[in-house]
Amino acid sequence: MKSSVDLPPTVQVNFTLGIGHGRLDASLEVPSGHVTLTQILPVLQTLTSNIVDAATVLVSTEGYQVSCRAGCGACCRQLVPLSIFEAEFLTEWIHSLPAMQQQALNARFNTTVDALKATNLLPRLLTPHLWQEEDLEARTLAADYLEQEIPCPFLHDESCSIHPIRPLICREYLVTSDPVFCARPTRETVVPIPIPLKSSSVLFGLGSLVEEGTTGWIPLPLLFVWMQTGGTPGQAIEGLGHELLHEFVKRYTS
């Protein structure tokens, strides 16, 4: 799957990150010119996948195996927070698709929104102050959402149809427990692999700086609603590619 974002010439950036009691030697091709945060998302996707791979190796050395496989999509019925930068990225990608594909996606998202309207979830999802992650109301909302078993509009035949460009938070969610528990996850039954450096959280934090007073993310099913705003949040964070990456990586530990 090709991203719609055309990257300028690149420069190689090498650095090392501590991953639990292991380490990741990262080597990334980063745009050498002036870009927005949204334009370096492909780099951040690669970095996130590298971090998750390193975390997966760590749990395997402890005797655990990741249970996640293509065609296993119960987790794709959870409420997925999509950073506003990824919302912008996916908007550009959707606009790059042939008209018929855009219409088909629009129809899938409309079906999802209709399903949400049929519950009491839509007004709650449209009330951003209810999304504060540690808040009881937010946890109740996430549980109520899962209860409805509404599949992500990008889920096709129980597999992610945008796998190469899927949100960072989807990359970061892997479990070592039996998939049978994923439809009704509890702390006792579902064991996610620990991800020591969460790229999704860094993006949410940057989003909340750009859009003050918000969580920096939207519920993924409301992507087409968000698209109507014409938002370009990435433009608020611009710079040379390697500088943006450096600032991003610094935030893993801040």
Tell me which of 37, 80, 193, 218 binds ligand SF4, using CB under 6 A: 80
Both tokens of 58, joined, read 């760590």
End-to-end CA distance of the chain: 33
30, 84, 73: which is closest to 229 by C-alpha?
A: 84
In angstroms, the CA 223 to CA 157 distance is 21
33, 81, 24: which is closest to 241 by C-alpha?
A: 33
Binding footprint of ligand SF4, residue count (CB under 6 A): 19
Task: Tell me how far, at minimum, the Cβ of 176 lies from ligand SF4, in Å.
Answer: 9
Q: Does 206 bind ligand SF4 (CB under 6 A)?
A: no
In angstroms, the CA 79 to CA 58 distance is 28
In angstroms, the CA 23 to CA 3 distance is 29
Tell me which of 43, 76, 195, 218 binds ligand SF4, using CB under 6 A: 76
Task: Tell me how far, at minimum, the Cβ of 140 lies from ligand SF4, in Å.
Answer: 20
In angstroms, the CA 138 to CA 63 distance is 34
Task: Tell me how far, at minimum, the Cβ of 164 lies from ligand SF4, in Å.
Answer: 11
Q: Does 175 bind ligand SF4 (CB under 6 A)?
A: yes
Segment contacting ligand SF4 by CB under 6 A, of 39-47, 129-137, 167-175, 230-238: 167-175
- Please list, in sequence order, all residues whose beta carbon lies within 8 angstroms of the beta carbon of residue 45, skipping any fewer than 6 positions away: 164, 165, 168, 171
Residues 106-165 interacting with ligand SF4 (rule: CB under 6 A):
152, 154-155, 160, 162
Task: Tell me how far, at minimum, the Cβ of 148 lies from ligand SF4, in Å.
Answer: 14
* Residue ranges that bind ligand SF4, judged by CB under 6 A: 67-68, 72, 74-76, 80, 152, 154-155, 160, 162, 166-167, 170, 173, 175, 179, 182
